[in-house]
Homo-oligomer: A and B are copies of this chain.
Amino acid sequence: MEEKCGWETGPNRVQHETFLKAVLDMLLEKAVFEGTNRKNKLVEWQEPEELKQKMNLAVREEGMTHGELFALMQQVVKYSVKTGHPYFINQLYSGLDVYGLVGQWVTDALNPSVYTYEVAPVFTLMEIEVLSAMASLVGFEQHDGLFSPGGSISNMYGMLLARYRTFPEIKSKGCSELGRLVALTSIDAHYSLKKAAMTLGLGSDNLVLVNTDAVGRMDVNHLKHCIEEEKKKKSTIIMVCATAGTTVLGAYDPVAAIADVCEKEGIWLHVDAAWGGGALISPALRHKIRGIHRADSVTWNPHKLLVAPQQCSVFLTRHPGLLKACNSASAAYLFQKDKFYNTSYDTGDQHLQCGRRADVLKFWAMWKAKGTSGLAQHMERVFSLAEEFAGMVSRRGRGWRLLQIPECTNVCFWYLPPALHDVPAAVLQGTLTTPADHQHFKRVSAVAPRLKERMVREGRMMITYQPLRGRPNFFRLVLQSSQVTSHDLEYFINTIEELAQNSQE
């Protein structure tokens, strides 16, 4: 380990075996086992400036020894957030899945790029298998699909195909003479729809935001109204995007009713099931996305509810050939037609990417390991944990207020310290009238950031908070890891109360 790192590519046993084994042992110990152990902190919090002091981040002219590099890797592990820790419930992903991790490690050692069968035979066939199994869960009779670097890009594929279906000539001529193109989604949809509208040149003003009902589902009557308004303006409506599991509230839009509208109007229906799509794998939960088989395209991220490692996002369409028609550029140096094998397996040209990391193996490994039945058990567990936690919050009293009964595994709630126990309900609804209301609103909104700071500084747990449509900051606990237990749910509640006690309101 005292030997200098070599500058040449390529492993050799003499030079590298000890170093490689030392790093892998350290990873198993510190990141995998200790990093997910409840007894340990989930983060060794440092302010940005402190962390810069503690870590030797700068790259320099001279290299280092294996021992020095090993020490740096230990620091990377030490100061990183343990996203696989049961108390990391901060984001729409969490949990460390052993089979998924193994899939990632194998992918890394093989370092494939999935453009052609020739260079990625196993991964090409594996993608076909997994996409087809997912399309069948969606209910598509025929399909095409791909893995993309995240739900945002998958949603963009949806808009891209929708636009192409309306105007195939856009591929060559662009959209300068097409007039105003419009897409519709709900006000609670993911911000990637807005980014897609910006990127593809529709413009965010032309992403029409449909109202939601009391629990955050798209209001179908308002959707109809918005469509009529756009027709009056002679806009061309290219797509409606329904959300199956909204980001904040976890609401499932009524896909079947939206499909009725789209079918009648001849509008492309995209379903963003990035978050809530996991429900499809369980016969008991599948009903939450009734009608999804009628969508033209679907985004579904196994890296969210199904706990595949980052990233694993799938885009599916029930129109075979359209991805290729829309996106192909037929580069002669990559997609030669005079190859010696069946080049219909060279699927790279449907993508916007050229070189592309294989995101399939990790999820395939999990699916093989657990079976569809095991993945379904996982889903049912996390949905029931969410229900259990919502029950705990509503029964708790003493300042605990559930925002609504969760439809997905997002549990949104306020914790109000004693001084705020009697805050009027209108304040939490965001309907402020009196100066006192405004005062209360401010104080309520300040609670979550203050408690968050304490829990993170102490490395005890991480949970996110945010405001929503006029409501003051609330916590959103998102359940994805089936490692979480009822005891953990109690820990979350107790920790929040304890942090609040030690903090002045």
Contact = CB atoms under 8 A, between A and B. Distances in A.
Interface string A1-19: 0000111111111001101
A495 interface: no
A352 B199 contact: yes
Given A5-B370, A10-B86, A48-B342, 12 more contacts: A5-B369, A48-B121, A51-B125, A64-B369, A76-B110, A93-B355, A150-B355, A174-B206, A198-B326, A200-B200, A248-B333, A340-B456
A121 B81 contact: yes
A142 interface: no
A106 interface: yes
B36 A11 contact: yes
Contacts of A331: 190-191, 247
Nearest to A160: B199
Interface string A170-205: 111111101111000000001110110111111111
Copies in the complex: 2
Interface string A461-498: 01011111000010010001111000000000000000
Given A110-B77, A111-B83, A133-B59, A333 B476 contact: yes
10 contacts: A16-B98, A27-B105, A31-B110, A69-B102, A83-B113, A112-B310, A151-B354, A170-B201, A176-B201, A200-B200
B83 A119 contact: yes
B36 A378 contact: no
Contacts of A166: none
Interface residues of A, number: 181
Given A20-B28, A119-B90, A191-B354, A373 B11 contact: no
Interface stretch (A212-220, A359-367, A432-440): A359-367
Contacts of A48: 117, 121, 124-125, 341-342, 345
Contacts of A414: none
Interface string A381-400: 10000000000000000000
Listed residue (A197, A309, A329) with the most chain B CB atoms within 10 angstroms of its CB: A329
